[in-house]
Amino acid sequence: MSETTENPIREAIQEALTEHPVILFMKGTPERPMCGFSARTVAALEALNAPFAAVDILPDPRIRQELSAISNWPTIPQLFVKGELVGGCDIVTEMYETGELAQVLGVEPPAAAPGEAPVAAEPGAPPLQPHNNLT
């Protein structure tokens, strides 16, 4: 990040995607999600105790713009595993319920039979499992 580039934000995103095997681009932070969809996605990851990096896209609108250009995906959140887009809130929630999410993340599926998606905290509400995954 020391040299000036044509598109430093895009390069920073690509670097983050290479660096973190599991990374979530979201509105807000895992402790303070600023959107219900981001909150629900964080809840699914935390329910599996899956370690993940998180990037808040809100501070600069260009992050979202560049991210969507890279991923060809218009909405936030976006979950990437090994640099590949897994999906947004709907797909992640669906995959949590079917057990596919645990498989993709390489973690143990939840002890209970998959079924109900974890309850997401409302935006701004204190999350159930505070856990800082920002790096």
Partner 1 sequence: MPSAQDVKQRIETAIPGARVDVTDLTGGGDHFRATVVAGAFAGMSRIEQHRTVYAVFGPEIGGPIHALSLETRAE
Q: β-pairing, 84-87 with 78-81?
A: antiparallel
Q: Does residue 98 touch partner 1 according to CB under 8 A?
A: no
User: Which residue of 34, 70, 85, 107 would you call a contact of partner 1, by CB under 8 A?
Assistant: 85
Residue bearing tokens 């701004």: 124
Alpha helices in the chain (DSSP H): 8-19, 36-47, 61-71, 89-98, 100-105
Q: Which is nearer to partner 1, 21 or 36 (CB)?
A: 36
Residue 124 CA to its chain's centroid (Å): 17
What share of residues in the chain are helix, strand, coil (percent, to 5)?
40, 15, 50
Q: Does residue 117 touch partner 1 according to CB under 8 A?
A: no
Residue type, 15: E
The two three-digit tokens of residue 119, written as one number: 């309850």
Q: State the minimum distance, in angstroms, from the CB of residue 95 to partner 1.
A: 8
Region of 10-18, 69-77, 106-114, 123-131 interacting with partner 1 (CB under 8 A): 69-77
Q: Does residue 73 touch partner 1 according to CB under 8 A?
A: yes
User: Which residue of 72, 111, 112, 132 would you call a contact of partner 1, by CB under 8 A?
Assistant: 72
Q: Does residue 60 touch partner 1 according to CB under 8 A?
A: no
The binding site for partner 1 (CB under 8 A) comprises: 37, 64, 68, 72-76, 85-91, 94
